[in-house]
Structure 1
Amino acid sequence: MNTPIDLRQAVRNLNSLPAMPLIAQKLMSLKLDSEEGEKQMLLLISQDPMISAKIIGLANSPLLGASRKITAINDAAMLLGLTRIKSVATGIAVMSLVSKPIGRFDPQELWLHNMGVAFAMLPVVRAMPAKNRPQDDLIFLTGMLHDIGYLVLAHLDTRRSDDLHTRFVIEPDRPAIEIERELLEMTHDELGAELAKHWNLPSEIVTVLRYHHTPEAAGAAEGQPLVRIVNITEKLLPPLGIREFVGNQVAAEEWTALGIDPDRAEEIAEQVVEQANQAAQFTNSFS
């Protein structure tokens, strides 16, 4: 019988972690505070057929409600906004790291779930007081990367990744994080944070990846309010992609922590489901 891989040891060996795609590295390093930076970003995206096709598809989806047919990246950028298009393009580049299933882990399911969360976060954010809202680019990037730890697990230890996804199917009403703690010495939120550190992502994003299932933890403070926004959104989300049960009850104090009136919970939940379903339609059109 093979000895299980020590995940804590494996993530210390940086060469064992997936490398960030080159285009994602370039996009992350670009500053959008100058016309030159904006031009470089749009050129980078337009030179990548897969990313540009997905962004143009997104611009034409019901999610954004374009009033006319979008056919060019420049027009898509006008509709999405430059910071958002940068985050979405970076997320798409990262999700293209793995195109085929690794054992029972299907990257298409992760892409579907992460994309759903990225857009379903918006109704929660819009309900917050304007002064408390995170930046648009951070909302999208954290949404699209928050569960990347599942990819890390499949990459490092396919056998235990398979065991985990099998257990998710067998125990669909049990919190996924509990199952992970039984099976693994490092859960997907920890693994995702290690990958984000390896990629030199902003510390705020690292924190969101690490604590999006434990928003009350002391270490989550640097990533607030994004940590809590992701946590609440996942609870409100219909089953989408990865079979990860996180609970479906949001307490009144969780809403008030974001400055949201708990009486708006039902209205926001309906909007979250609508956004997630539209994101799923868009994502499935590229599967």
Structure 2
Amino acid sequence: MAVVQARIAILEDSRGKVLVILPEQQLLHLALLNHSYQRALKAAQVGQVKKIFVPTLVRQAQFMDKLLSLPLILDHALKDADVLAIYEPISGLRFELERSRLTHAQVFRFALTPHQIDSRLPTQDDEQAILLAVDRFTSLRIKERLADTLEIPPLPLTAQKIIMLSSNQEAGANELVPLVEADPSLAAQVISWASSPYYAAPGRVQSVKDAIVRVLGFDLVMNLALGLALNKTLKVPADVPQGVDSYWTQAVCCATAMEALVKVMPPARRPSAGMSYLAGLLHNFGYLVLAHVFPPHFSLINRYLECNLNLASHYVEKQVLGVTREQVGAWLLQCWQLPEEVWTGMRHMHNSDYRGSHQEYAHLLNLALSLLREQGIGHVPGESTDEVLFELLGLEPELCRDAIRHLLDEREQLNLIAERLSLSA
């Protein structure tokens, strides 16, 4: 008896809900499905899905009868399976369905394997890939320089000054304080960050200098200020996918996770703590760039992400645009002349096979995001941690997992920091 791994999604439109079942690790091609089914389906609300897939109900025959009374669409790849081992990514539930119970299903081809997505894209460097995507999806005139074509905002003045300061080996708090204080919003955010119970500073943090000298330290504040200045350059879009943590929640959790992992690394192998923190804070910056460069198609990306919550976002972005957030984000940070450690880490953070310059930042980002996912934070909840990363970074797996669990004991405080940042951005 053939048991095939599959996943289930609930889609809906004005005519009602529909069940969709496809191979677990394949992408639900929403446009292809809607064309075949002659509907305008999109992912059902996350709250509704959670109310349907309740652990105590899934094993009950009455529940399954009611669920399977909905219209059902099956991907062609599953038509000959005897038993489907079903995964529902929002609730995380797994259960089995016999194919004989799905005789009323309509069968279409609408799922794509990761190989099919990758193979349709020509081999090219990042700038060529971005140019091709811009040419396909916007009316912008392609100029000789991609930076001119996209009309990206210039690097903020505060960020320029911080980058210049970082190259001064003699710089300290006396040089950084007036720079941060010159931007009232940035100064308020740094003080708020240092005042958070997460850092447990004794007494009240009364100034930027106090935040630097007594609580956070020069290196962390410099990179924190740089990350906040850059993140304010492009607006977080109002249209975001359901079922995914907010932009600022992801940024804050990843930055603090990077900080925690660096602390448990062997001293001789530790990269810069401040640079690691900055890489974590900016790891998802490419998402903002996609919203800026591809506004007409950004909503479509989000609808695909909602239907494919168990897949890494770069598969959705490759399919819809032909370019990923990591490519455009790293390209822009490189254009802005940010440290190579940061944009290299961003560009290769999903590739545990990457062996190149500053690979430790890419591997740390990969590991931080994976360990956060193990605790239910971030995209792709079903994706497992690549254990090779621990060896590459000289880390003890349990020590790392303990550090992340301890970090998330303060989740409420991290959420508060993220909320403040979202309001001031």
| Contiguous gaps of at least 5 residues in structure 2 | 1-134
**What is the aligned partner in structure 2 of residue 186 from structure 1?**
323
Aligned pairs, number: 279
Tell me the distance in 2 between the aligned counterparts of 1:100 and 1:193: 17
In the TM superposition, what are the counterparts of 1:79-118 in structure 2 within 5 Å? 79-99=215-235, 101=237, 103-104=239-240, 109-118=246-255
Paired amino acid for 1:262: P
For residues 184-218 of structure 1, what are the alpha-carbon distances to aligned partners after superposition, in whole Å with 9 as ceiling and x for unaligned?
22101111111011101122222111101113134
SS at match of 2:137: coil
**What is the aligned partner in structure 2 of residue 138 from structure 1?**
275
**What is the aligned partner in structure 2 of residue 273 from structure 1?**
408
Tell me the distance in 1 between the aligned counterparts of 2:401 and 2:339: 33
Residue from 170, 173, 176 that aligns with 1:41? 176
- TM-fit CA distance, 1:277: 4.8
Give the conservation status (yes or no) of the 8 Å contact 1:120–1:275.
Answer: no
- TM-fit CA distance, 1:82: 0.6
Give the conservation status (yes or no) of the 8 Å contact 1:45–1:51.
Answer: yes
Tell me the distance in 2 between the aligned counterparts of 1:272 and 1:166: 32
User: CA RMSD of the aligned region, Å?
Assistant: 2.7
- TM-fit CA distance, 1:282: 1.4
In the TM superposition, what are the counterparts of 1:1-287 in structure 2 within 5 Å? 4-5=137-138, 12-15=145-148, 16=150, 17-31=152-166, 32-34=168-170, 38-78=173-213, 79-99=215-235, 101=237, 103-104=239-240, 109-218=246-355, 221-237=356-372, 238=375, 244-245=379-380, 247-274=382-409, 277-286=412-421, 287=423
Give the conservation status (yes or no) of the 8 Å contact 2:234–2:292.
Answer: no
| Contiguous gaps of at least 5 residues in structure 1 | none
Paired amino acid for 1:75: D
TM-score after normalising by structure 1: 0.87
Quote the sequence identity (%). 25
Query: Relative to structure 1, is the Cα distance of residues 181 and 6 closer, same or farther in structure 2, using a 3 angstrom cutoff?
Result: farther
For residues 20-60 of structure 1, what are the alpha-carbon distances to aligned partners after superposition, in whole Å with 9 as ceiling and x for unaligned?
2111111111145335x642321011121111111111111
Tell me the distance in 1 between the aligned counterparts of 2:370 and 2:275: 20
Query: Relative to structure 1, is the Cα distance of residues 126 and 195 closer, same or farther in structure 2, using a 3 angstrom cutoff?
Result: same
Q: Which moved more, 1:20-29 or 1:173-182?
A: 173-182
Paired amino acid for 2:137: P
Which structure: greater helix fraction?
A: 1
Larger Rg: 2
- TM-fit CA distance, 1:244: 3.4
Query: Relative to structure 1, is the Cα distance of residues 99 and 194 closer, same or farther in structure 2, using a 3 angstrom cutoff?
Result: closer
Give the conservation status (yes or no) of the 8 Å contact 1:116–1:277.
Answer: no
Of structures 1 and 2, the one scoring higher in RCO (CA 8 A, sep 6+) is: 1
- TM-fit CA distance, 1:176: 1.5
Q: Which moved more, 1:94-103 or 1:191-200?
A: 94-103
Query: Relative to structure 1, is the Cα distance of residues 123 and 10 closer, same or farther in structure 2, using a 3 angstrom cutoff?
Result: farther
Which structure: greater strand fraction?
A: 2
Query: Relative to structure 1, is the Cα distance of residues 184 and 131 closer, same or farther in structure 2, using a 3 angstrom cutoff?
Result: same
